[in-house]
Structure 1
């Protein structure tokens, strides 16, 4: 099975300072690999029109539902999530993390996971700009993200 994350409304490549936010330039966002904070999947510029990441995963039935596992899925069973890491990218290509969004997989309806197992793809669609105009961060659950089953690409 695959998980596809389709993101839209990115905050821009520069975010001005604000209360509790120092401001950053050359902002990028990427999916963080499990237990490898510095290993990022396909960094996208913060001013892109959209961003899409496709992750391979396994969906194993358990007594309490379905456990999703894969190289980009973090956490323990029952508390799995995907990190979208926000950072700056310097001229040498070094990514410096400043914030993360935690896409909570335990918030997906079991029927949606079952349908995705049948279709081959679990699709998460979300806006990446928060209410203050900054990069989205913290735990992300519906309605901030919409999960559905989608046909495999």
Structure 2
């Protein structure tokens, strides 16, 4: 199954409340693949986009997902967006956001698993206090659609 995560309103954009502090700290956000954070994007960018391939299988009439991008146990699977400070090749993670598959409408997940398009998740990456969005992100802060 193809998934695209589109993040906007990064917390280091000009004029954001914590922008200067986050930029000076070399803060980036990326998607976690197993224990490695890849596709890292600096917080001052306009947007962040990650494209993933996720394995699917049918379990008791439901779509289950797996693969190196997917974390959690059956029935509670999710993707991680991880925040960290970058210094050379070192990424020091300090915060993560969870995008739960259980928050995706069933018909969208099924259609994406059947190859009828790309599952697209859109979210703002700044929390209400102006920092990096973390913890569980759920609708309406995260919207899911199916696109060709």
TM-score (norm 2): 0.88
CA RMSD of aligned residues (A): 1.7
Q: How does 1:44-83 map to 2 (within 5 A)?
A: 44-63=41-60, 65-83=62-80
- Flag structure 1 segments of 5+ consecutive residues without an equivalent: 17-22
In structure 2, which of residues 128, 133, 146 is the aligned counterpart of residue 131 of structure 1?
A: 128
In structure 2, which of residues 87, 91, 94 is the aligned counterpart of residue 95 of structure 1?
A: 91
**Mapped pair 1:6 → 2:6:** yes
In structure 1, which of residues 85, 100, 105 is the aligned counterpart of residue 101 of structure 2?
A: 105
Shift of 1:121: 1.3
What are the Cα deviations for residues 30-89 of structure 1, in whole angstroms up to 9, with x where unaligned?
01112x2xx122100001101100111122122152111121111111100111000011
**Mapped pair 1:32 → 2:28:** no
Structure 1 residue ranges (4+ consecutive) displaced by more than 6 angstroms after TM superposition: none
Shift of 1:93: 2.3
- Flag structure 2 segments of 5+ consecutive residues without an equivalent: none
Shift of 1:15: 7.0
- Please tell me whether the aligned partners of residues 116 and 150 of structure 1 are also in contact (alpha carbons under 8 angstroms): no
Residues matched between the structures, number:
141
